[in-house]
Amino acid sequence: MHAEALQSRFETIRSNKLFETFVITVIVFSALLVGAKTYDIPQPFSTIALLLDWFISFFFLTEITIRFMAEPRKRDFFKSFWNWFDTVIVVVSMIPADNTDLAVIGRLVRVFRVLRMISFIPELRILLVSLVKALPQLGYVMLLMFIIFYIYAAIGSTLFESINPTLWGDISISLLTLFRVMTFEDWTDVMYETMAVYPLSWVFYLSFIFFTAFAFLNMVIGIVVNVMEQENAKARAAEAEQNHEPTLADIMQEIQQLKARLPADKAVSEPKR
């Protein structure tokens, strides 16, 4: 009974909005502290920063322990990817960040502690999950984009190498030049240089920009937005199920049942002549 009461108390703390807000505040403060340590700060402030860093590490360890103890079945805690993610970051961040061989790893992991905000903010989780689930579809778009890049790079190396070997010397350099054109980084300078020799070379650049910057990038955005809409719909359905609210599918099913019953009810209600 005492264990159940203790677990209930831990669960109350975990679900407390004030506690979640405080954890997010500590995560943001941790990120700011990592940024502050990149500056040359006086020794007293450096010591204070080190103490604050250890306080943050122990606070995160305490917070993970509270979440673990609040789980009714402890094995279910590790069924969540986000729990694994938070635990690994917190445990590795306990590595001393000064005067050790693993100091570089410790500092790098402290930088990634800001990613823990993803596990606390549902909207950020949906964004990340949507991006990961969109990767298989994005892979085919990226492959097609690379084919277009490769064809234009080969054409550019063949036609423009004699004009500027620095930009069109071989196919790998041409690929970098085309990436510069796609991102509109002074691409007109590159175009005008080749137009001095080939007046119609503007067709090469405009068609490339149309395929890459306009067509393919919009396809990437469309795929990601579509997956995000699906994930948002799943999240709303899960929240409605958790709150015992009727979902859109339940409402549509009820409407269909009412429509199916309507002719029978009408036949019964009509008097015989």
Is 257 inside a domain boundary?
A: no
115 and 1 inside one domain = yes
169 and 89 inside one domain = no
Q: Which residue range is the domain that position 76 belongs to?
A: 1-120
Is 100 inside a domain boundary?
A: yes
- Using CA atoms in the order 66, 70, 74, 76, what is the torsion angle rounded to 10 degrees? -110
Number of domains observed in the structure of the chain? 2
1 and 105 inside one domain = yes
Does the predicted model carry a pTM greater than 0.75? Answer: no
20 and 115 inside one domain = yes
Amino acid 185 reads E
Q: What 3-state DSSP class applies to 42?
A: coil
171 and 235 inside one domain = yes
Distances (CA, A) of 142 to 111, 189, 198: 30, 27, 30
146 and 114 inside one domain = no
> Mind listing the pLDDT tens digit of every residue in the chain (273 residues)?
466 777 778 788 877 788 888 888 888 888 888 788 778 878 778 788 878 888 888 888 888 888 888 887 777 788 777 788 888 888 777 766 555 556 666 667 677 777 777 777 777 878 888 888 888 888 888 899 999 999 999 999 999 999 999 999 899 999 999 999 999 988 999 999 999 999 999 999 999 999 988 888 888 888 888 888 888 887 777 776 666 655 556 666 777 777 777 665 555 455 555
Q: Which of 92, 120, 148 is the last residue of a domain?
A: 120
